[in-house]
Amino acid sequence: MDTLRPAQNYLNEPRGWKSWLFTLDHKRIGIMYLAAILLAFLLGGIFALIVRLELLRPGADLMSADTYNKMFTLHGAIMIFLFIIPSIPAALGNFALPLMIGARDVAFPRLNLASWWVYVAGTIIALYSIFAGAVDTGWTFYTPYSTQTTTAVISMTFAAFVLGFSSIFTGINFIVTVHKLRAPGMTWFKMPLFVWALYATAIIQVLATPVLGITLLLLIFERLFAIGIFDPAMGGDPVLYQHFFWFYSHPAVYIMILPGMGIMSELVATFARKTIFGYRFVAFSSVAIALIGFLVWGHHMFTSGQSEAASMVFSALTFLVGIPSAVKIFNWLTTLYKGQISFETPMLYALWFLCTFTIGGLTGIFLGALVVDVHLHDTYFVVAHFHYVMMGGTVMAFLGGIHYWWPKMFGRMYSEFWGRIAAVLVFVGFNGTFFPQFVMGAQGMPRRYFDYVPEYGTMHAASTVGSWIMTLGFLIMATYLIASFWRGKPAGNNPWGALSLEWTTTSPPPPHNFDSQPVVTHGPHDYDKIIAPSTLAGR
Amino acid sequence: MSDTTGHPAYLAHHFADAEQQRESSKLGMWIFLVTEILLFGGLFCAYTIYRSWYPQMFLDAHRALDVTMGGINTVVLITSSLTMALAIRCMQLGQRQNTLRLLWATLLLAGVFLVIKYFEYAHKFHLGQLPGKYYTYTGVEGTNPHIFFSVYFLMTGLHGLHVIGGMGVIAWMIRRTARGDFSADYYTPIEMTGLYWHLVDLIWIFLFPLLYLIG
Ligand code: HEM
Ligand SMILES: [Cu+2]
């Protein structure tokens, strides 16, 4: 019964591959981003599995130390620059943001298309570096090692530089879109929280990325001309590189997590059928995180020889940034409390997020404490911490978001049964992979080593097996999502009974989003006040 | 092409009216300029740090720069900012020919700036006052004089790239003006080009005293 799908929608109108590659439609650009980003995730994931396979048993099994260094660097760099930073904003955000505020498109459609092409260009340069000998510096490209190694540092950092532009373009577009293109009646405090989160993210994208850009340029010039700025032998300071780098990269972790938090708010409200508790607090906490996030970069350098006073200040500020994150967690929990929760696949991922991100966040506070960090610095504890945040946080939210908006994007439902199975496998596999790493790390297993003493054998083996369980979950997910194109039943406009604007148009939406200009009369999460529309197809 | 709803041709379909479109462009441009300032910010930061580390060397090394040429360039760039501003004004009044002339003048002045820069650079290359490991000059007192020239070439080089980029955009505006894309009702792209060009000018106005005049 295909009658619920509009005959003409953004997927089939206009036709032809050129109409996709040169489209100005934010929905198509979002889908193209989604495809590109999932490919990057696959590639980064393959490198991760190789790394884990090497670590299955003690001893050098598969590769030399040099190759290992390249493997984890490629894994890290791809996951960060190609996958997680653009993931939610550029893919899901591009698709959903204009729909959610009732706009016909983002403010600068051409710039939006340019950002996708720049992303592709950056990706090609990154792939080129893999074949030109890869990089073995770790994704942070720390000097002085990065100025000395013979690997393809220049092309890889240039790739990251180029990718930065695509991030800035998306950021500019979102800020202007939110300011200028909201539908009549959509006041700031009637905006869905996902929009607030993307707005805060965009602020960080435009304020932090240029600093990374110039830092990478300086590094490239250091390699080409030995300009001496980062080289102590020539009167420079290698720690300056770290300051520049983390001035971007700490805020960048909020580029990674804030959009995920935004998705969380949508999922929690929709699947608990309740108004978000403390909407304004949640909205403002995004902006607070964005701003305070600029003041804490020095917690990555506690052991680098920066002054003690600086370390103490950075440590204190780091605790401060925990507050707005905790505000969000408590508000979601309060929203869930006594809600009529339904455990569909997206909601499962929201629950995973609540468990794993909380662990990641709390262990972040451990690492922000000076004394503790000196012990845990560069151990597997750190590796576990950032995977709990990035994967347990952002990736879980991303998966939740994909499942949540899938019916809107393609007009089809996926198999709920397989969805739940995959969700459980991902959760079990994830914790199996990374929880042992907290234990190993606390016991002193250093990160980035390709070999280890046999005492750590059990934990490493458990971690590797966990990564296979997780992979199985992802394979199942890929299968049922792709299958949904042919077998999925029509989704209807609003399968979840959600209240935000994107659910008022058809699925998939028509090329111009709405048949008539929507006018907003109620808040996006006012489930308490409004009885959700009874068009709950698929429930 | 104006469509059936009576939109003027320059109004993109996703905007409700011309005002909204213009406001959006402006906000977007301002944010972009902020990112440009932050890009240079990294270099200003490096400048500050190395200047505080090697105050004497910076003082000695800056004498190697040619204040006259730098000064002329400052005047040239400020004048070009003026012609740019006047070009926008003329378009507001609908005087297309004057706009065209003034845009050409801006482009020409930008070219003059680059030519002078070329002579400055060539002279320094000749003397071996090059960045980093290519630095061979011996006439500057103090430790690590190559750092001053690294900073000099990076800052003026990045600025020069912005001048070249700006010239490209101005040339494009000339073409569009000549083609008749703009009118007293619609001149946003020229206005945005102007904003960008003022930023390029402004950055130079910081670079000139910091590099040429410190003392
Ligand atoms: C299949 C899931 C994953 C597995 C099994 C995995 C495994 C690993 C391993 C073993 C390392 C090396 C640790 C070290 O020796 O320091 C690592 C590093 C890293 N991973 Fe993952 N990872 C996974 C997913 C992710 C995701 C989703 C992200 C981010 C979105 C990510 C980001 C990173 C980063 C940034 C590093 C640091 C690389 C470096 O040290 O330069 N990982 N990962
Ligand atoms: Cu940090």
DSSP per-residue string spanning chain B:
---TT---TTS-TT-SSHHHHHHHHHHHHHHHHHHHHHHHHHHHHHHHHHHHHSHHHHHHHHTTS-HHHHHHHHHHHHHHHHHHHHHHHHHHTT-HHHHHHHHHHHHHHHHHHHHHHHHHHHHHHHHT--SGGG-------SS-HHHHHHHHHHHHHHHHHHHHHHHHHHHHHHHHHHHT---SS--HHHHHHHHHHHHHHHHHHHHIIIIII--
Interface test mutation site (partner A, options B7, B31, B32, max chain A beta carbons within 10 A): B31
Measure A434 CA to nearest chain B CA, in Å. Answer: 36
How many interface pairs between A and B have CB atoms less than 8 angstroms apart? 112
**Ligand number nearest to the C-alpha of A321:** 2
Give the SS3 label for residue A273.
coil
Q: What is the pLDDT of residue A339?
A: 87
Contact A51 CB / ligand 1 (< 6 Å): yes
Contact A389 CB / ligand 1 (< 6 Å): no
Contact in structure between A441 and A382 (CB atoms under 8 Å): yes
**What is the residue-averaged pLDDT of chain A?**
93
Measure B31 CA to nearest chain A CA, in Å. Answer: 7
Mutate to test the pocket of ligand 1, among A42, A72, A468 (most ligand atoms within 8 A of CB): A72
Q: What is the mean pLDDT of residues A354-378?
A: 93
SS3 breakdown of chain A: % helix, strand, coil, rounded to 5?
Answer: 70, 0, 30
Render pLDDT for A237-255 as a digit per residue (tens, 0 to 9).
Answer: 999 999 999 999 999 999 9
Q: What is the pLDDT of residue A443?
A: 95
**Is B28 in the A-facing interface, judged by CB distances under 8 Å?**
yes
Contact A383 CB / ligand 1 (< 6 Å): yes
Measure B82 CA to nearest chain A CA, in Å. Answer: 28
- pTM higher than 0.90 for the full model? yes
Specify the residue with its C-alpha closest to ligand 1, atom 27.
Answer: A391
CB contact under 8 A, B150 and A105: no
A523 pLDDT higher than 90: no
Residues 185-214 of B with CB under 8 A from A: none
Q: What is the pLDDT of residue A534?
A: 44
Q: What is the pLDDT of residue B8?
A: 84
Query: From CA A312, how far away is CA A329, in angstroms rounded?
Result: 27
Measure B126 CA to nearest chain A CA, in Å. Answer: 17
Q: Quick one: angle between helices A345-368 and A416-442, nearest 10?
A: 10
Ranges of H-type helices in A411-456:
416-442
Percent of chain A whose predicted confidence (pLDDT) is above 70: 97
Q: What spacing in Å lies between the alpha carbon of A383 and ligand 1's midpoint?
A: 7
Contact in structure between B206 and B200 (CB atoms under 8 Å): no
Q: Quick one: angle between helices A279-292 and A238-272, nearest 10?
A: 170
Give the SS3 label for residue A102.
coil
Contact in structure between A268 and B187 (CB atoms under 8 Å): no
* A235 → chain B, closest CA residue: B144
A1 pLDDT higher than 80: no
Q: What is the pLDDT of residue B83?
A: 98
CB contact under 8 A, A214 and B146: no
Q: Could you report the predicted ipTM of this complex, rounded to two decimals?
A: 0.93
Q: What spacing in Å lies between the alpha carbon of A397 and ligand 2's midpoint?
A: 20
Partner residue opposite A105 with nearest CB, options B14, B28, B36 = B14
One-letter amino acid at A463 equals S
Question: A269-307 b/e with 16+ CB inside 10 Å = b?
Answer: bbbbbbbbbbbeebbebbbbbbbbbbbbbbbbbbeeebe
Q: What spacing in Å lies between the alpha carbon of A460 and ligand 1's midpoint?
A: 14
A354 pLDDT higher than 60: yes
CB contact under 8 A, B150 and A213: no
Specify the residue with its C-alpha closest to ligand 1, atom 15.
Answer: A448
Specify the residue with its C-alpha closest to ligand 1, atom 41.
Answer: A138
Estimate to the nearest angstrom the gap between the alpha carbon of A170 and the chain centroid: 14
Q: What is the pLDDT of residue A306?
A: 84
CB contact under 8 A, A214 and B133: no
Strand partners, A490: A412
Measure A17 CA to nearest chain B CA, in Å. Answer: 23
Render pLDDT for A448-463 as a digit per residue (tens, 0 to 9).
Answer: 999 999 999 999 999 9
Query: From CA A329, how far away is CA A276, in angstroms rounded?
Result: 12
A536 pLDDT higher than 80: no
Q: How confident is the model at residue A533 (pLDDT cuts 50, 70, 90)?
A: very low
Comparing CA positions, the residue from B124, B118, B88 lying closest to residue B106 is B88
- DSSP code for A325: H
CB contact under 8 A, A221 and B132: yes
Atom of ligand 1 nearest to the CA of A449: 15
Q: What angle do CA A198, A397, A41 make, to 5 degrees?
A: 95
Q: What is the pLDDT of residue A192?
A: 96
- DSSP code for A343: -
Q: What is the 3-state secondary structure (H, E, C) of A454-508?
A: HHHHHHHHHHHHHHHHHHHHHHHHHHHHHHHHHHCCECCCCCCCCCCHHHHCCCC
Ranges in chain B, pLDDT < 70: 1-6, 215
Q: Find chain B residues with C-beta within 8 A of A223's C-beta.
A: none
- DSSP code for A427: H
A2 pLDDT higher than 50: no
Q: What is the pLDDT of residue A244?
A: 94
Contact A75 CB / ligand 1 (< 6 Å): yes
Comparing CA positions, the residue from A194, A141, A204 lying closest to residue A170 is A204
Specify the residue with its C-alpha closest to ligand 1, atom 28.
Answer: A79
Measure A227 CA to nearest chain B CA, in Å. Answer: 4
A170 pLDDT higher than 60: yes
* B47 → chain A, closest CA residue: A229
A485 pLDDT higher than 50: yes
A435 pLDDT higher than 60: yes
Render pLDDT for A315-329 as a digit per residue (tens, 0 to 9).
Answer: 999 999 889 999 999
Q: What is the pLDDT of residue A304?
A: 87
| Region of A94 on the Ramachandran plot (φ > 0 left; ψ -120 to 50 alpha; else beta) | alpha
Atom of ligand 1 nearest to the CA of A466: 5
Render pLDDT for A95-125 as a digit per residue (tens, 0 to 9).
Answer: 999 999 999 999 999 999 999 999 999 999 9
Specify the residue with its C-alpha closest to ligand 1, atom 32.
Answer: A76
CB contact under 8 A, A229 and B39: no
Q: What is the pLDDT of residue A106?
A: 97
Q: Answer with the residue of higher pLDDT: B1 or A150.
A: A150
Percent of chain A whose predicted confidence (pLDDT) is above 90: 89
Give the SS3 label for residue A379.
strand
Render pLDDT for A185-228 as a digit per residue (tens, 0 to 9).
Answer: 999 999 999 999 999 999 999 999 999 999 999 999 999 999 99
Q: What is the 3-state secondary structure (H, E, C) of A199-213?
A: HHHHHHHHHHHHHHH
Q: Report CA-CA distances (Å) from A401 to A62, A91, A405.
A: 37, 10, 6
Q: What is the pLDDT of residue A528?
A: 76
A271 pLDDT higher than 50: yes
CB contact under 8 A, B24 and A176: yes
CB contact under 8 A, A172 and B46: no
